Structures are given as C-alpha cells and as structure tokens.
Amino acid sequence: MERLLVQNFVAAPAPVFRRDAWRGCGGLDEDLWYTADWDMWLKLAANGPVYYHNSVTVGFRIHGGSLTVTGSHDTAAFTEQMQIVLDRHLSTFSGRTNAIERAARASIAVNTALSSASAGDLTNLWRAALEVVRLGPVGISRYLRDSRIVDRVAPRVRAKLTGAF
C-alpha cells in the first residue's frame, strides 16, 4: 500500500478482484473523475490481502485523446484529484506517514508538472524537481522505486517524439 499511495501504478486492465471485495470497499467514487481507480485500489488493499506481480502482464495505448492527456490540462483540478486520494488514505499508515507523505507529495508535484509540460507549460518542472531533491538520497530512492517514473515517462516521451500526441 505504501508504494501505491506514492503513485497509482496499476494499469486499469490488470487487476482481478472478488465482487464482494469491490462491494465491500464501496466501489468507485464517482466524484473522482481522474483518480477513482487509484482510490479504489487503495480501498481494496486496505480491506484484504493483495498479491502484486512485478512482471508486466498488460499494456495500454498512449494517445493524445486519453483521459490521462485530456483530463489533466486543468492543473488545479488535476492536482486536487490526487490530493483527495492522498489525504483520504494517508491515515492508513499511522506512525510512518512522514516519508510516505513526502514521497507522495513529490509524486503529485511531478505528475502535475509533467502534465503541464505535455501541454506546453514548462513552469512547474523546476518546482517539481526541487520537491524531489528535497527528499534526500533515501527519499529519492523511495520516490524512484514507488513512482516508477522512468517506466511511466519513457513511453510518453517516445510517443511525443514520434508525434503520437
């Protein structure tokens, strides 16, 4: 759960879960137009055992019309969606929240900056980089591991360079 709170790395077509678990966690929060799946993964993980396989089993197409691209152009709303999920689930980690919270907030800053940069606004990149640097060596290591930033950004950069979006 700690890794998942830092960044939603679950590809939508990948998870399998029991219907009673989904019903028990309350399903998707319809007010979360961008982060509803992330919120649900955290609710499911908080309510029972989770098995994570570290090998890639699914993929999805990166394109300019996806919600990831079109839905994230309103920086304030995009950031708010991620903040809601973080604030909602941070209390799950009683006593250990500082390092997790710092990495998660840095991840939100990076996600917001990358979204803005994708739309042509580069102003938030330096602030996001500073947030990551402030984590220190151990925090940066946690951020890199938990955010999977390299795995997430590399295909998007390739798509941008080839004109896919």
Residue 165, Cβ neighbours under 10 Å: how many? 15
Kindly list the domain boundaries of the chain, sorted by start residue.
2-161
* 8-state DSSP, 153: H
Q: What is the pLDDT of residue 81?
A: 93
Q: What is the pLDDT of residue 36?
A: 93
Q: What is the pLDDT of residue 69?
A: 62
Cα distance between residue 115 and residue 17, in whole Å: 30
- Burial (Cβ within 10 Å: 0-12, 13-18, ≥19) of residue 103: buried
Q: What is the pLDDT of residue 72?
A: 61
Cα distance between residue 9 and residue 151, in whole Å: 10
- The count of C-alpha atoms lying within 13 angstroms of the C-alpha of 45, restricted to the half-sphere facing its C-beta, is 19
pLDDT tens track for 30-60: 999 889 999 999 999 998 888 877 777 777 7
Q: What is the pLDDT of residue 31?
A: 93
Q: What is the pLDDT of residue 129?
A: 96
Q: What is the pLDDT of residue 71?
A: 60
Q: Identify whether the C-beta of residue 111 lies closer than 8 Å to the C-beta of residue 80.
A: no
Find, among 36, 34, 35, the residue nearest to 26 by Cα.
Answer: 36
Q: What is the pLDDT of residue 152?
A: 81
Sign (positive/negative) of CA torsion 126, 99, 148, 10? Answer: negative
Cα distance between residue 7 and residue 76, in whole Å: 18
Residue-wise DSSP of 80-98: HHHHHHHHHHGGGSTT-HH
Sign (positive/negative) of CA torsion 54, 24, 97, 123? Answer: positive
Instruction: Render each residue's pLDDT in the chain as its tens digit; 165 residues.
Output: 888 999 998 877 778 888 999 899 998 999 998 899 999 999 999 988 888 777 777 777 766 676 666 666 678 888 999 999 999 999 887 666 788 999 999 999 999 998 888 778 898 999 999 999 999 999 999 999 999 898 888 887 887 788 776
